[in-house]
Structure 1
Amino acid sequence: MKALIFWTCMLLMLHTEGGAINPAYRIEVTIAGFSGPKLYLGYYLGDKQYVLDTAEAIAANTFVFSGAQPLKTGVYFVALPPKNDFFQILISPQEQSFSIQTNQEKLQEAVKIEGSTENALIYAHLRYLRKQQGKAAAIAEIIKQSETKKTSRTQAELKQQQLNTNVAQAQKKWVQKNKGTYAATIIGANLHPVPPLESFAKLDSLEKSHQLWMWTRQHYFDYLPLGDSTLLRTPFLFEKIDYFIRTLTPQHPDSICRAIDTVLYQMSQAPETFQFYLIHFLNSFAASNFVGMDAVYVHLVEKYYNTGKAPWVSVDQLAKLSTNAKKLKPLLIGKIAPDISLERKGQRTQLHQIQSPYTVLFFWRYDCSHCTESLPALKKFYEKYAAQGITLVAICVKPTQEQPNCAKYLQENQMPEWFNATDPSGKYFGLYNLETTPQVYILDQQKEILSKQIPADQLELVMDKIIEMNKKSRSKVE
C-alpha cells in the first residue's frame, strides 16, 4: 500500500507558518532513556534543514528550548545528537509554550504533548495512520508471496484498494472536521486529487496516459494552497513544487517558464514564500547545465526583476541581473545568431553569408586547455560531416597580433582546413558573451541557433539528432 506509506511519511513532516503573537517561546522536552547533554531544535526551509536553538539538560532527560523572540510558524524538529534521530512538532503563533514527553526507543510513536492542541491533533491522526500502515503491510505481504493463489491474490488486491479508499476518505473527513487548525492545513496540503478514471476508460493506453498526465498537472495544486504562507517552512512544499517543475512539466524552456509563472502567481499573496521561490528559481536556472535553460533565467529577470516585483534586490544587483539577461537574450536557442565579420586568408565575409545547411561555430584559444582538448573530437566531427555540406567555423578568441599563434597551433597539430577565421573588429567577443571558452553553437541554414554549450565529444550525437528531427519534420510537411 504505497499511497498510505507515502502519506505517513509526509504527514510526519508537520509544519506551520505565520506571524508570531506570543512574546517568546518555551518548549520543554523530556526523553526517557536519553542521557545526552543537549538537544537541537531546527526547522525546514526549501530542501534544507537549519538548527535554530540548542538546549542543555536542566534535569535528568529534560531540556528546555526558550527564546526572547517568538518562533515563526512551521514544522520544526527536535534532534538527538550524536545520531540526530528526531521527531517533529508544529509551531503556530498561538502555541509557543508547551511540553513534550517521549521515549528514545520509540521516539515518534511515544510522543505525548501537553499545552498544544495542534500537536495533540496531528499526533492522534498519525497514530491512526500507523495502524492503517500495519494493515497495509500485511496485505502487501500476501500479494508479494509468489505461491499465493490467484484468487487469494485478487482478494488481497481488492482489500488493498478498499483500504486506500477508506484512508483517503478518512483523511478528508478529518481535515473538514478540524478545519481552521494548522494541523488540518498540513494534512490537507498532502491530500492527492483523485482523477476520474472512468472518464478515460475507453481510451487506448497511450492516450489514457497522456490524458491522465494532463489532468494531474491541471489539478496538482488543488489541495496545496501555495498562497498560504504557513506552508513555507514545511518539509514537503519544496519537494512538491520541484516535482511539478522538473517531472510533471515538459523540460522545454517555454513550458518551464509557464509552470514557474503558475507557481509564483499562486504565491503572490504570500510575499515571503514568493521571494524565497523566485530567488530559488533564478539561482537554479542561472547555474543549470542543461542546454537552453538560460531562457528561463532571462524570463525571470525580465518578468519579475525588471518590473519591480523583486523589491528586496539592491540597485547594483538588479543592474547586474538586467545586464546579464540582456547579454544572454540574443543567444537563446531559437534566436538568429548575431552576424559577425569573418576574415580568412585575406578575404572577408559575413557569418550570415555562409551557405550551408548547418554551421558549427567554435570559439577557442590555443592557450585554453579545455579548448585544445576539444580539438581531436572536433577534427573527428569535421571529417564525418564535411561531406554533408556542414561548415565548421573556428574563431580563435585572441587579438589580431596573436592570431598567427592560432594558425601555428592548428598547423602543428595537423588540424583540418576547416573555416578558420578571425574577426578583426573583435565585436564577436561581446556579441557572443565570450567570458569563457570553448563555446560551440549549431546554426541552421537561416543561422537560427539550434543548440549550444555542447562538449566537443557530444557534438556528433547532437548533430545526428538534429538531422534526424529535421528529416522527420520535412516528411510530415510533405
Structure 2
Amino acid sequence: MKQYLLSLCMLLTLSGIAQTTKSAYQIRVKIDGFTEKQLYLGYYMGDKQYVMDTALVDAKGEFVFSGPEALKAGMYIVVLPPNNDFFQILVTDKEQAFFVRTTKDKPGENTKFEGTSENTLFYNYVNYLNAKRPEAEALGKELEAAKDDVAAKDLAQKKMDKLNEGVEQYQKEYVKKNASSFAAAIIKANMNLETPKNFDNLPEEEKNRQLWLWTRKHFFDNLNLGDNRLLRTPFLFQRLDYFVNKLSVQHPDSIAIAIDTVLARLRPAEESFKFYLIHFLNSYAASKFVGMDAVYVHMAEKYYATGQANWANQDQVKKIVENAKKLKPLLIGKTAPDITLERNGSKTMLSQLKSEYTLLYFWRYDCGHCKESMPAMKKFFEKFKDKGITLVAICVKPATDQPECLKYIQENGLTDWYNAFDPTGRYYVLYNVETTPQMYILDNKKEIISKQVPADQLEDVMDKIIEMNKKDKENK
C-alpha cells in the first residue's frame, strides 16, 4: 500500500512538472469594457519597448499570455489596442502565473491581482501615489497663483514640502517593510537622495560644485545595478545615461571612468553587464562628437581584448580590437604619424614642417563629399592663411593619377595650399584613410588637437583653438 501511494505521489509530481514545463508562464488578463479581440504583452529594454506576445480573447472574455519558457524577471507592459493605453505588471522568477483584472479606462488605476504578491505590493504603492496626486496638483496651482505674493507663496510651499515629506516617509517605511521584494527595489531605485544640509551654507558656486561631487559619489546608493531584474524597467537606461552623459564631464577620459564605474556595478548581473557593454561600445563607435573615439578604444582594450565579452563571436572581437588599434595612434593628444610629403619633385617629412598649426587634409578629385567641401575649405584658408596655418592637402591617389590631382588643383584655384602626395603610400594605413575627406588639426608639435571637423564648421573650431592657445600663453 505504501509503495502504491509513493508511486502515485511521484506520478502526480511528475504530472505537475510536465504541466509547468508545457506552460512556464501564464498571465490571465480580464479588462472590463474592453471590446478589442487582441492584447499585447511587451517589455522594457534600454530606452525602448518591445512586444513579445499576443493574446486573443477567449470564451470567458479573458486574454491569456503563456509560453513554454519562463519570462525573464522585470517590469512588463500590457498594451491595449488601438490607442496603445497600457498598464505595468511585475514578473519575478517565482511569480510566473497570475490573474489581473482592470478596466478599459485608466487601466493602471483600477487594477486588481490574484496569485502575485509582488504586483499587489507594487499597486498598493501606486494607488497611494494616485491618491496624493490631486493634493499635489492643487498645491501646484496655489504656487502658480501666488506669483509675487510672498506670504501666499511661502504658505503654499510649506504645504508642498509637508506633502513631499509625508510621501518620502511612506516610501522609506514601505521599502523597509518589504525589503526583499522586487516592488521595494523599484520604489527604492526611484527615491530621492538626501543631500547633506551643510551645503546650504556655502556660496552658490561652491555649493553647486560640492553638490555635483556628492551626487556623483552617491548616485547609485538606492539603485542596485547588480539586480538583473532592473534591466527590464523603464528607468534604468535613463539613470545610466544621465550618469554618463550629464553628471560626468564630457571628456573622453571622464566618460571612460564613468562607464567603468557603471559596468563594475553591473557585473554581478550578467545580462545587464552584457547589454550595457554592447550599448556603450556601439554608442561611441558611432559618436559624431570629436574625440569620443577614445572611449571606444578604451572599451575595446579593457573589455574585448581581455576576453570579458566572452559571449561575442571571436571574429567580431578580433575586428573590434583591430579597429581600436588603428584608431589609437590617431586620438586627440597623440603625435600625428609621420609621413613623407612629395611636392614639386622634392620630399620632406610632415614632422619637419614649421607652422603654428597644420591642417592635414586627405582628399580625392573624384570624391563627391570632397567636391562639396572645397568651397568652404577655400573660404577658410583665405581667412586663416595669415594666422599661422599651413594647409597640407594630400591627394589620395597613386603616383600615376597625380596629374589629375594637379589638374583639379589648378582648375579650382587651390594652388596656395601645400599640395603634396605620399609616394610611399604609408598614409593609407597610418591614418586609416578608408574614406575621404579626412581632416586633422595639428599644433606646432604636430600633436592632434582636433579632427574630422566638417568644412563648414572649420572656421568656428579654428577660432576657438586659437583663442584657447592665446589664453594658455597668457596664463603661463
TM-score range, shorter chain: over 0.9
Is the contact between residue 41 and residue 54 of structure 1 (CA under 8 Å) also seen in structure 2? yes
- C-alpha RMSD of matched pairs (Å): 1.5
| Whole-angstrom CA distance in 2 between matches of 1:22 and 1:287 | 43
- Choose 454-463 or 161-170, whichever is displaced more: 161-170
Give the conservation status (yes or no) of the 8 Å contact 1:21–1:93.
Answer: no
Q: Percent identity?
A: 57
Tell me, in whole angstroms, the C-alpha distance in 2 between the residues paired with 1:235 and 1:45: 8
Partner of 1:321: 320
Tell me what 2:463 maps to. Answer: 464
Asked if 2 retains the 8 angstrom alpha-carbon contact of 1:22 and 1:96, the reply is: no
The match for 1:180 is 180
1:366 is aligned to 365
1:7 corresponding residue in structure 2: none
SS in structure 1 at match of 2:57: strand
Per the alignment, residue 88 of structure 2 pairs with 88
Q: Which range moved further: 325-334 or 308-317?
A: 308-317
Give the equivalent residue in structure 2 for 1:122: 122
**Local SS of the residue matching 1:59:** coil
Superposed displacement of residue 299, structure 1:
0.3
Structure 1 residue runs without a partner (length 5+) = 1-19
Runs of 4+ in 1 over 6 A off after TM superposition: 20-23
Q: Is the 8 A contact 1:305 1:318 kept in 2?
A: yes
Paired residues in the alignment total 457
Query: In the alignment, residue 33 of structure 2 is paired with which amino acid?
Result: G
Cross-structure match for 1:11: none
Q: CA deviation at 1:192?
A: 2.1
CA 1:289 to 1:468, structure 2 compared with 1: closer, same or farther past 3 Å? Answer: same
User: What amino acid does structure 2 have at the position aligned with 1:90?
Assistant: L
1:40 aligns with 2:46: no
Distance in 1 separating the partners of 2:409 and 2:319: 37
- For 1:113-152, list aligned pairs within 5 A: 113-146=113-146, 149-152=149-152
Show the counterpart of 1:14.
none
* Cα deviations by residue, 1:23-77 (Å, 9 ceiling, x for unpaired): 6111111111111011001111111111111111003642111112111101011
Aligned equivalents of 2:285, 2:395: Cα separation in 1: 27
| Greater gyration radius | 2
- 1:148-178 per-residue CA deviation (whole Å, 9 max, x = no partner) reads 7321111001111221122112111110011
CA contact (8 A) 2:143 2:156 kept: yes
Output the amino acid matched with 1:358: Y
Distance 2:77 2:246 in 1: 28
User: CA separation in 1, counterparts of 2:73 and 2:232?
Assistant: 7
Amino acid at match of 1:57: V
* Alignment correspondent of 1:15: none
Q: 1:280 Cα shift?
A: 0.5
The answer to which of 439-448 and 57-66 deviates more is 57-66
Please say if 1:349 is aligned against 2:317. Answer: no
> What's 2:7 paired with?
none
Aligned to 1:102: 102
Quote the offset at 1:111 in angstroms: 0.6
Aligned counterparts, 1:6-25, within 5 A: 24-25=24-25
Structure 2: distance between partners of 1:364 and 1:60: 70
Secondary structure of 1:360's partner?
strand
Amino acid at match of 1:430: V
Q: Give the distance between the partners of 1:54 and 1:22, measured in 2 at CA.
A: 18
Structure 1 position 201, deviation (Å): 2.5
SS of alignment partner, residue 246 of structure 2: helix
Alignment of 1:257-336 (within 5 A): 257-336=256-335
The yes-or-no answer on 1:231 pairing with 2:230 is: yes
How far the C-alpha of 1:315 sits from its partner, in A, is 1.7
Residue 378 (structure 1) aligns with: 377
C-alpha distance in 2 between matches for 1:61 and 1:397: 69
Match of 1:12 in 2: none
Distance in 2 between residues matched to 1:147 and 1:257, nearest whole Å: 45
Distance 1:272 1:118 in 2: 22
**Residue 401 of structure 2 aligns with which residue?**
402
* Matching residue of 1:8: none
Matching residue's letter, 2:179: K
1:461 alignment partner AA: D
Give the Cα–Cα distance (whole angstroms) in 2 for the partners of residues 28 and 394 of structure 1: 68
Confirm or deny: 8 A CA contact 1:21 1:94 kept in the other structure: no
8 Å contact 1:358–1:442 — kept in the other structure? Answer: yes
In the alignment, does 2:62 pair up with 1:62? yes
Give the aligned partner of residue 15 of structure 2: none
**Letter in structure 1 aligned against 2:130:** R
1:146 shift after superposition: 5.0
Pick closer, same or farther for the CA change 1:339–1:25 going to 2, 3 Å: same
Secondary structure, aligned partner of 2:258:
helix
CA–CA separation in structure 2 for the residues paired with 1:143 and 1:65? 46
Distance verdict in 2 for CA 1:147–1:209, change over 3 Å:
closer
User: Cα deviation per residue 1:238-261 (whole Å; 9 max; x = unaligned)?
Assistant: 111011111111111000000000
Moved more, 338-347 or 125-134: 125-134
Higher deviation after alignment, 277-286 or 160-169: 160-169
* SS class of match (1:27): strand
Alignment of structure 1 residues 184-223 onto 2, 5 Å: 184-196=184-196, 198-223=197-222
SS in 2 for 1:316: helix
Q: Greater relative contact order: 1 or 2 (C-alpha under 8 angstroms, separation 6 or more)?
A: 1
Q: C-alpha displacement at 1:80, in angstroms?
A: 0.9
Contact 1:33–1:61 at 8 Å: present in 2 too? no
Q: Given residue 107 of structure 1, which amino acid in structure 2 is its aligned partner?
A: P
Match of 2:111 in 1: 111
Q: Deviations over 1:97-137 (max 9, x none)?
A: 11111110121111111111100111011111112222111
| Distance in structure 2 (CA, Å) of the matches to 1:234 and 1:135 | 28
Residues of 2 paired with 1:192 and 1:147: CA distance? 27
Q: C-alpha separation between the residues in 1 aligned to 2:273 and 2:149?
A: 54
**1:21 Cα shift?**
10
Q: What is the match of residue 389 of structure 2?
A: 390
**Distance in 2 (alpha carbons) for counterparts of 1:36 and 1:259:** 47
Aligned letter for 1:471?
K
1:154 aligned residue = 154
